[in-house]
Structure 1
Amino acid sequence: MKALEQILLQKQRLQQEMLKYMSLRQTSQEDAADLQKRILGCFRSMSRLFSDAVKAEEYLNMLHQLKDENIWKMFTSLLDCATTFNNAWSIRVDLLKSLGEKHELYDFVSTLSMRCSYLLVNKEYVKEILSAASEQKSIGNTKHISSCMDLLTAISSFFPSLLSGFEEDIIELLKEDNEVLKEGIAHVLSKAGGNIREQLASSSSVALLLERLCLEGTRKQAKYSVHALAAITKDDGLMALSVLYKRLVDLLEEKKVHLPSILQSLGCIAQIAMPIFETRGEEIISFITKKILDCSDDTAKVSADKSEWGDSSHSCLLKIYGIKTLVKSCLPCKDAQVHPGIEKLMDILKSILTYGDISPNMISRYYE
């Protein structure tokens, strides 16, 4: 999967630079020197994505000299994500025919047209993945479902526009009673939600489904769902996250069974919407320090026959999750500044590392 992601990343960069170059070709020639400088900058960036950067830049400069407008129209079509696979293939064939096999740019254009087109990944491919995921769910093949979700996540990370038009299919998969599908689709929406926000706006069930995962799902589901809510709703999700945040904080005292996912959701909200978190941040910090990190409390009590730090006990995991939430509350993704609570957090971490607990008077069984 890492190899595929690298391929898609390079493909994305090449497309972006090619689109920038195509736009510059249409720019007025009033400042020819500046325009030429910007075009050369695009060529330099694109050339680095080829094995022989020097030769690639030379070929790009030669390509720039071609006056046949049909060639550039064909490149424009290849760069359009709405172009179907069959059409893209035909366009590429016509493009190469227009040059001729004996043209010195033939091999380079063959490679360039393949790499900047949507022949490798396209809307038809996305449709097949969604269909396969649905079929595998019926069969109960978790491994194949996971593979489908991994592919869809990779595509949505680099080419989110390819998911446009498949909103209903995505929603249906999110509704399925399958944990792998829920996690995968939430992850996909966290990546591509911003590109299909308007189409999803007509379905109120999406936000409700994601909110439920934030409250009752696994920690991964909660993490992806918070980011998905921010992506698919207006104003970067401030209103949706505000409503969710209130429910999460209220549930801290009421509901112990879903604490891991609740803590995860709170931490993610702190990172992407610090102003919301700060409205009741003190309550959360107090709950974590007194009810989770303080060993004397029943919430974090460990069974007598288990070493607190020797295994992944429920109590130990809760402490880890609590610390992670505290750390996230001091590390917002945007406008990062020195947070006023960082010193208190450092004191807590220092005590835990020194004494095995939040207080020097509460030595863990590990040291007994």
Structure 2
Amino acid sequence: MPNAPQQDNLEHHFVLRCRVLQTIPYFFSRFQATRAFEGLKQSSSLKSFIKPLSASLVKHSLLGHKDKDIRLLVGICFCEIVRVLAPNPEFTDAVSRDIFGLLVNIFSELEDTKNPYFSMRVQLLETVAKLREHHPPSMVSAAVSIMSQILEEKMQEKEKTSYELLTFEKEVSEPLLDVILQNLLKEAKGASRASHQLAVSVIQNCSEKIEETISRFLRSCILNRDAVQSEIKEYYHDIIYEIFQCSPQILLSVIPSLIHELLTDQVDVRIKALGLMRKVFSLPGNHFAQDYHQLFVEFLNRTCDKSAEVRLITLSCAKAFYMTNPSGKESLEVLSALQGRLLDSDDRVRSEAVAVVCDLARYKLKSAPLELITRVAERLRDKKVSVRKKTLKRLLELYQEYCTQCAAAIMDFSDHFEQIPCKILMLCYDRDCKEFKPQAIEIVLADTLFPASLSIEDKTRHWVFMFSLFTPCHLKALSAILSQKLRLRTEMQAYLTLLNKYKEEVSEEVEKKMKMSIVKMSASFEDTAKAEDCFCKLDMVKNSQILDLLEKLLAEQNIEDAQTTRENLLRKTRDKNLHTEFLQLLSMKCSFNLFGSEHVRCIFDHLSGNRFGNKHLEDSSVQLLLTILSAFPSLLRGLETEFKQLLLEEVIPFNEQLIQILAKEGSHMPINLGDIYPFLEKVCLEGSRAQSKLAVSAIAALAGASEQSIFLDLCKTLVDYLHLGKQLPTVLQSLGCLAQYSVSAFQAHEEVVTHYITEEIFQLTDVAMLEELDLLEETSECSGSCQLKASLIHLILTSFSYFIWVLVV
């Protein structure tokens, strides 16, 4: 800084230069314009010399000169004049406006970074910034606004640094703070991206100088907003959020003040404060819960707020927090708070809690809170139908995501997730909502339970796993759905047969039968009355192509073939403007959309290849097979070889469930008895009593009218085994069952069987035979002979009704 003599000398040279510059108003050399004021301090004594110079500049209209370089030099001169003569350069209002316009024009040219005078423009901008205390607020605001407009992404870091020279030596003024904060608010004030970047840069690089002013402003907005004069005071939450992203340390004294808003009686204030916290929670890598633990605790308390609206927004806050902080103590506390809202008194809150938990589970499925998912599934039994519907929708989305990840080998099968369809099945027992009737649940299981892209094999595996979790109630619900589908298919077949048979003339009796069929078929739909009306309209149309496609659909065993037929049917209905929506639903219900022949084949393949590797899952798969074939035995058509191979598989000897399938549905199965008779005969001779009973029933179910003689051969074989004294309980059980199915076969050997029972068994004293039968009990008080007699009497009385008649006679 120059001393007094130096200052006097500088002023003397300046006076001389001013006189020269006044004589050449149409020409400015770079040296003259930039060096004339160099080194001069603020001095009012130079006013008499500077005033003629400024007047000359104004007189010759240099403020609006066409040459932008000359305008730059003129702007530098006026800026220096303002600096030296501050605080009162004594410009008229008109001249001040022109000078301001000139500076705005100069600043707007800053984007031309290759201009040889670029550095001079930057220097001019620095000078304007340093003179903030002498400029009117409008000049400061305009300077920053112009900076915002010309800052572009394409500028190099060095150039950006030059713009960031808009810094402050002391404390930032309120007008300038307003400008900075306005540009910081991208959404609230519609600022451009460049201006936002500039504001962020200023806050980051000048945080120490600006912190106190910003903190005081924000605290005032939180605690006493009415006393704040700024236009942006209503956007203080947005300002906090933006600052939290770029310079969070500035807010250390501000954030705790938000507790005041969370505790206020005004619901809207609490909601807005939580809205801010939700946005902050969403920022990745934030440590809000640790840095502001007391505020975090108060946020958790708001999950039990007396206002349902407040509780609702806390759920979205909890979601935002957990998605950015899925681990740690605080995350567990958030999950605990969410679990509490699943039992909230307000059904809207319960619904939202269900949605939030399902979204969190889908976000990171492998680390999903499994126990919480189970709690969500319980909302399927909520007292409010709206909550049940929302829960069903969300759980289906979650289960689909789980299935997708299992198919991609990202997830392993989980009991918690497989419980979801089990819980959905239980909705069949609801009586207060038509959307949960078996008619509707069938569509859910067939159409929305699994992702459309999931293969039949993957779907079958999931069915087997969930079947392993079934209780009798689940099995009953699924059987009801399948039985309903079977009734619809059977009645539809009868209806189509009537239509084809009586195309021309329909008698009153046939008309009555057809109406009865329509009533029965309508019972398979949610809205019975609407379905009945649609059936009647379809009956009036009597379109042969539609009816043929429906009949073809009933015959399709394969799901893919059935889907193709359905598409053809719906295309025909659209072409003829028929009831497309109803026919779409009808075709879905009539087809094998839930289980098809592909499912049966997959089960056979897994069982024969021992792919489950789990006895429990093998039993579940056989139980599933039994359930499917019990409703639709025709699905075994084409898979007889696989069934026989599985039945004869040594790995699963005498599988009672497979034999039970034959016993129950054998009369409807396309299986040749001769192919599996040796196996069934062996079961009758060497299996357990329960197995032998099922085996005889299976033979009876598979035997046609021409194969009744096979009972004579079986009876003879059983009598031969009886004389050998082998497997007496099993042989006697088989004879008793055989007597129920073929009296004539048993009568042929009646005397022999009766004699053996009364003479050989009741009079039995051969201890060796008792030992062979392994009937001796060391702890028993009665003899082995006594035990055998008592066992046989019990066996005869409970199992062989025909034997009772023999003994009485």
Question: TM-score scaled by structure 1?
Answer: 0.75
Alignment of 1:61 with 2:527, yes or no, is no
CA, structure 1 residues 139+121, in 2 after alignment: closer, same or farther (shift >3 Å)?
A: closer
Structure 1 contact 173–182 (Cα < 8 Å) conserved = no
Aligned residue among 539, 554, 559 for 1:79: 554
Alignment of 1:126 with 2:600, yes or no, is yes
CA, structure 1 residues 157+254, in 2 after alignment: closer, same or farther (shift >3 Å)?
A: same
Deviation at 1:18, TM superposition (A): 0.3
| Residues 28-57 of structure 1 deviation map (CA, whole Å, 9 limit, x = unaligned) | 344522221111121122233344444432
Deviation at 1:12, TM superposition (A): 1.4
Structure 1 contact 163–192 (Cα < 8 Å) conserved = no
Q: Which amino acid aligns with 1:200?
A: N
Q: Which amino acid aligns with 2:550?
A: F
| Residues 283-334 of structure 1 deviation map (CA, whole Å, 9 limit, x = unaligned) | 43554566667898966976463368xxxx877655443323323x27xxxx
Structure 2 contact 606–612 (Cα < 8 Å) conserved = no
Count of equivalent residues: 324
User: Which has the larger displacement, 180-189 or 30-39?
Assistant: 180-189
Alignment of 1:33 with 2:497, yes or no, is no
Q: Which amino acid aligns with 1:123?
A: S
- Who wins on radius of gyration, i.e. which is larger? 2
User: Which has the larger displacement, 210-219 or 293-302?
Assistant: 293-302
User: How many Å separate the matches in 2 of 1:223 and 1:209?
Assistant: 14
Larger RCO: Structure 1 or Structure 2 (Cα < 8 Å, ≥ 6 residues apart)?
1
Aligned residue among 491, 494, 517 for 1:17: 491
Structure 1 contact 269–277 (Cα < 8 Å) conserved = yes
SS in 2 for 1:79: helix
User: How many Å separate the matches in 1 of 2:604 and 2:791?
Assistant: 35
1:171 corresponding residue in structure 2: 644
User: How many Å separate the matches in 2 of 1:167 and 1:16?
Assistant: 23
CA, structure 1 residues 343+209, in 2 after alignment: closer, same or farther (shift >3 Å)?
A: closer
Alignment of 1:254 with 2:728, yes or no, is no
2:627 corresponding residue in structure 1: 154
Q: Which amino acid aligns with 1:171?
A: K
2:745 corresponding residue in structure 1: 276
Q: Which amino acid aligns with 1:260?
A: P
- Percentage of matched positions with identical amino acids: 31
Aligned residue among 68, 92, 95 for 2:569: 95
Alignment of 1:245 with 2:720, yes or no, is no
Q: Which amino acid aligns with 1:15?
A: R
Aligned residue among 655, 660, 663 for 1:182: 655
Structure-to-structure mapping, 1:257-336, within 5 angstroms = 258-285=727-754, 287-288=756-757, 303=777, 305-306=779-780, 318-327=792-801, 329=802
SS in 2 for 1:120: coil
CA, structure 1 residues 70+126, in 2 after alignment: closer, same or farther (shift >3 Å)?
A: same
Aligned residue among 665, 668, 672 for 1:200: 672
Deviation at 1:97, TM superposition (A): 4.6
Deviation at 1:149, TM superposition (A): 1.7
| Residues 140-186 of structure 1 deviation map (CA, whole Å, 9 limit, x = unaligned) | 53222222222222233232222121122122112211346632332
SS in 2 for 1:341: helix
SS in 2 for 1:176: coil
CA, structure 1 residues 232+226, in 2 after alignment: closer, same or farther (shift >3 Å)?
A: same
Structure 2 contact 737–800 (Cα < 8 Å) conserved = no
Alignment of 1:43 with 2:518, yes or no, is yes
Q: Which amino acid aligns with 2:716?
A: K
User: How many Å separate the matches in 1 of 2:481 and 2:763?
Assistant: 48
Structure 1 contact 193–228 (Cα < 8 Å) conserved = yes
1:341 corresponding residue in structure 2: 805
Aligned residue among 573, 576, 585 for 1:111: 585
2:545 corresponding residue in structure 1: 70
SS in 1 for 2:541: coil
User: Which has the larger displacement, 59-68 or 126-135?
Assistant: 59-68
Consecutive unaligned residues of structure 2, counting only runs of 5 or more, are: 1-474
User: How many Å separate the matches in 1 of 2:525 and 2:486?
Assistant: 14
User: How many Å separate the matches in 2 of 1:12 and 1:249?
Assistant: 42
Question: TM-score scaled by structure 2?
Answer: 0.36
When the two chains are superposed, the root-mean-square deviation of aligned CA atoms in Å is 3.4
Alignment of 1:3 with 2:467, yes or no, is no
